Amino acid sequence: MKLEDLRRIRERASKEISLRTGGARVRVIVGMGTSGIAAGARDVMGAFLDEIEKRDLTDVIVTQTGERGWASSEPVVEVRVEGEPAVVYGEMTPDAARRVVAEHIVNGSPVVDYVLEVRKDAT
């Protein structure tokens, strides 16, 4: 495999991309501060990326942030779906992350078992 092979992917995907308007519909923000990593954020992040790949989701972006004061509930993940309140999930696991993708991001209903906070102020 060579990095240059990416050019073909780019060419193939470019038509599809040009149809999209603006940024991603969903942002997934994983807390990757020290306490988050210690609690398992690495594998939670991996599960989100894996689901994006497996489900061919082109409108989801996974990003990361540092400590946010939720240390006792790490790993913490915030999910922002365009036009909806942001949902903060706590004590996440890779399985929980996969549920969030299936139930919240794809089907639109937050996974209440893991919700820490719903932030109506966020866009």
Partner 1 sequence: MIEELDMHLLDLVQNARGAGATTIDLSVICDDRRDRMTLRVADDGRGMDPETLEAVRHGFFSSKSPRSVGLGIPLLRESAEHCDGRFEIVSAPGRGTTVEATFRMSHVDRPPFGDLAATVLALVVTSEGRRVRITIRCEGRSLEIDTAEISEILGDLPLQHPEVLRFLKAYIAERIGARTGGER
Which of 25, 43, 86, 122 is in the footprint of partner 1 by CB under 8 A? 43
Distance CA 27, CA 34 (A): 21
96 close to 89: Cβ distance less than 8 angstroms: yes
Q: Does 56 bind partner 1 (CB under 8 A)?
A: yes
Distance from chain centroid for Cα 42: 13
Amino acid at 39: A
For residue 99, the minimal CB distance to partner 1 (Å) is 19
Site for partner 1 in 23-42 (CB under 8 A): 24, 32-35, 37-38, 41-42
Residue 51: C-alpha distances to residues 18, 58, 93, 120 (Å): 23, 11, 14, 26
Residues near partner 1, by CB under 8 A: 1, 3-7, 9-10, 12-14, 17, 24, 32-35, 37-38, 41-43, 45-46, 49, 52-53, 55-58, 60-64, 66-67, 71
